Amino acid sequence: MDTFLLALPPPSEPKPDAPSFGLGNMLPFLLVLVVLMLFMPLLSRKERTRQKRLQGLKKYDRVVTSGGMYGTVISFDDQTATLEVAKGFRIDFKRSSVYDIVKEGEAAAAQEKPEKPAGAKG
């Protein structure tokens, strides 16, 4: 009986240097890929809607720039838009930096909110 046990090879252990390409290692990559595939059409649809709204830009529209500045369109061409941000104060912007046309209710709400000082709580 002792000779039989000696004839068996010792159990092999996995080599720590060998890379493993199991499903567990691929799962995070696959999860990120699926999430990107689900949300990309939603983002492009939102951008197309925004572009359609901006094609209807006309003089005296109230707009917000990508930097968050509100203004009224005084003039525009293919490349630039001149906005009046305060009475008599006009700034030229790239037309692509005009982010959105503000609706009437949104413009009134944005003007009525008082600015809080930087250190104010509440």
Q: Domain boundaries in the chain?
A: 20-55, 56-113
Q: What is the pLDDT of residues 35-90, one digit of tens each?
A: 888 888 777 887 888 888 888 888 888 999 988 899 999 998 888 889 999 998 99
Tokens of 112: 């009525």
What would the two tokens of residue 89 be? 């104060």
According to the per-residue pLDDT averaged within each range, which of 51-60, 100-109, 111-120 is highest? Answer: 51-60
**pLDDT value, residue 46:** 79
Tokens of 109: 């709400």
Q: What is the pLDDT of residue 110?
A: 55
For domain 56-113, give the fold. SH3 type barrels. (2.30.30)
- Whether residue 120 contacts residue 105, with contact meaning beta carbons closer than 8 Å, is answered with no
Q: Is the pTM of this model over 0.85?
A: no
- pLDDT at residue 49 in the model: 82
